[in-house]
Structure 1
Amino acid sequence: MDIPRIFTISESAHRIHNPFTPEKYATLGSVLRMKPGTHILDLGSGSGEMLCTWARDHGITGTGVDMSLLFSTQAKMRAKELGVADRVEFIHNDAAGYVAEEKCDVAACVGATWIGGGAAGTIALLTKSLKPGGMLLIGEPYWRQLPPTDDVAKACGVDSVADFLTLPALVDSFTTLGYDVVEMVLADQEGWDRYEAAKWLTMRRWLEENPDDEFAGEVRKTLTVSPKRHVAYTREYFGWGVFVLMGR
């Protein structure tokens, strides 16, 4: 059980597997106004940076679930590095369908809503683990500007313009599902640069160290295409943010 290999190679040096910077996560942690002891469930927790830094800075406890063995291992190492291994737990498991035995104060899926077939399905999944009156954190992409054609959308790496909503439409969709949007923190282009560009050096170093690996051709292809795609399309068209929801 694991995620596609291209991600465990290209993002192996990432602490954050989305367009947030450490400063953005710090902002999000502050605006949530969490009390010490707040318990968070994070589905698709990656390398654990959100839970680990919030445990250090806000005294929260947390459980992270991620399908990547590498990222889950890195999360445990990060917890030890920050001295919070007694406050956060990381489980290598498929987050799709995961329901906590004990309900939490905050349930999050920050950038992996494919686990529920999209934002609506992931919200439904998270609510099964959430205490009444708790908060949901949903990390989701949106169009900063609408691509003029489906061909441009495909150049961004998706199938069609219909794959994402605009920011106003995304916020309205949460309202339609019966939730108040009570906070949001949005990534910026610098965050996209750090997320995407950091992959390129990692892939180049991997190719130098693994020239005969059977997967080298795929990594070379990705490295060749990714910088051009990012500067021409991703950086201009993609937005991303974490939206804080409370049921009505």
Structure 2
Amino acid sequence: MNREQISRIAHTDHPIKSPLDDASVDRLLDRGLPRGDEHVLDLGCGSAEWLLRALATRPHLLAEGVDVSEDALAQARHAANGRGVADRLVLHHQDAAGFVSARRFDLVISVGATHAFGGLLPTLAAARRHLAPGGRVLIGEGFWDRTPTTEAVEMLGEFTDLATTVDRVVADGWTPVHGHVSARHELDAYEWACWGSLAAWALDRPADPDSAEALSTASTRRTEWLRVYRDTWGFVSLVLGRTPGQG
């Protein structure tokens, strides 16, 4: 199984590919889209669940998404047709870091996708290029809630603590106007959903040639979460505006 197949199955019951529950997603969108008629861009949109939810509740919104996964974009197109919002959604199959548009957007989203840009600050730099004056950025990033083990750092990457993460954002010329730190129940629900969905898929298809690999992957990832990073890793989502005088 390739990475896209695993991700698609794992997120069957948790289409927001970050540790956020529905109420948290709604609050973040409310803060980022106060008028309801904005133009919004998602860099690294995957199956475009953020955009689909925004479009479904804001009939005057226009949205664009960018991702390298044709499989994920196909899912997004199918879902957009099913939810009746396809006429207000444009999807671009390309590297989000190199995306160029003549339009400037009122909200730029990149939640859980900073790896695609090489880290938090490069992601904010990409968002800045697309942001309209007075616009907002909604970004989601991991952080270390406690000192991690070497194994956890090797597995997840070089994050900082929460305060340092926010300090880096502020020093880069941004002002947080809203934030959400994912609660324990959100972090746990996300992991259970992902590896439970993958395991259930395998158990329901014992004759499928990919079943054994899927079950093994689910077991490995669940064990890594429980034994390596569950007690140390956190996730923060920030709604940001440009600090006056910072460009």
Q: Please, what TM-score do these two structures have when normalized by structure 1? A: 0.85
Q: CA 1:36 to 1:153, structure 2 compared with 1: closer, same or farther past 3 Å?
A: closer
> Which letter maps to 1:237?
T
Structure 2 CA distance, aligned partners of 1:152 and 1:91? 34
Residues of 2 paired with 1:117 and 1:82: CA distance?
33
Q: Which residue of 1 aligns with 2:80?
A: 79
SS in 2 for 1:29: helix
Matches of 1:18 and 1:233, distance apart in 2: 18
> After superposition, what is the alpha-carbon deviation per residue over 1:143-164, rounded to whole angstroms, capped at 9, x for unaligned?
12222x424544xx335xxx11
Q: Which runs of 5+ in 1 are unaligned?
A: none
TM-aligned CA deviation for residue 183 of structure 1: 1.2
Distance 1:4 1:15, change over 3 A: closer
The aligned counterpart of 1:234 is 229
Q: How far off is 1:169 after superposition?
A: 0.4
Query: Percent identity, aligned pairs only?
Result: 30
Q: How many matched pairs?
A: 240
The residue identity in structure 1 corresponding to 2:224 is R
Match of 1:189 among 159, 175, 184: 184
Q: Is the 8 A contact 1:3 1:68 kept in 2?
A: no
How is 1:51-130 mapped onto 2 (pairs within 5 angstroms)?
51-59=51-59, 60-130=61-131
Question: How many angstroms does 1:9 deviate by?
Answer: 4.1
1:245 equivalent to 2:240? Answer yes
Give the 3 Å change call, closer, same or farther, for CA 205–129 of structure 1 in structure 2: same
**Secondary structure at 2:19's aligned position in 1?**
coil
Instruction: Note the C-alpha offset of 1:242.
Output: 1.5
For the aligned residue pairs, the C-alpha RMSD in angstroms reads 2.3
Whether 1:168 and 2:169 are equivalent positions in the alignment is no
The 1:63–1:33 alpha-carbon spacing in structure 2 relative to 1, beyond 3 Å, is: closer
Name the CA distance, whole Å, in 2 between partners of 1:89 and 1:61.
8
Conserved 8 A contact 1:189-1:235: no
Q: Residue type matched to 1:109 in 2?
A: S
Contact 1:110 1:139 (8 Å CA) reproduced: yes
Deviation at residue 232 of structure 1 after TM alignment: 3.3
Distance in 2 (alpha carbons) for counterparts of 1:5 and 1:212: 14
How far off is 1:12 after superposition? 4.8
| 8 A contact 1:27–1:185 mirrored in 2 | no
Q: CA deviation at 1:89?
A: 2.3
Specify whether residues 63 and 225 from structure 1 end up closer, same or farther in structure 2 by C-alpha distance, changes over 3 A only: same
SS in structure 1 at match of 2:191: helix
- The runs of 5 or more residues in structure 2 that have no matched partner are none
The question of whether the paired residues in 1 share the 8 Å contact of 2:11 and 2:197 is answered with yes
Q: What whole-Å deviation, never above 9, does each CA across 1:86-144 have from its counterpart, x for those lacking one? A: 22223332222112231111111111012221111111111111112211111100112
Residue 99 of structure 1 contacts residue 125 of structure 1 at CA under 8 Å; is this kept in 2?
no
Q: Which position in structure 2 is the counterpart of 1:34? A: 34
- SS of equivalent to 2:230: helix
1:219 aligned onto 2:214: yes
Cα-to-partner distance string for 1:64-91 (whole Å, 9 max, x where unaligned): 1122223212222222232222222233
Decide whether aligned partners of structure 1 residues 38 and 235 sit closer, same or farther in structure 2, where only a CA change above 3 A counts: same
Paired position in structure 2 for 1:178: 173
CA distance, structure 2, for counterparts of residue 29 and residue 212 of structure 1: 39
2 CA distance for matches of 1:186 and 1:230? 18
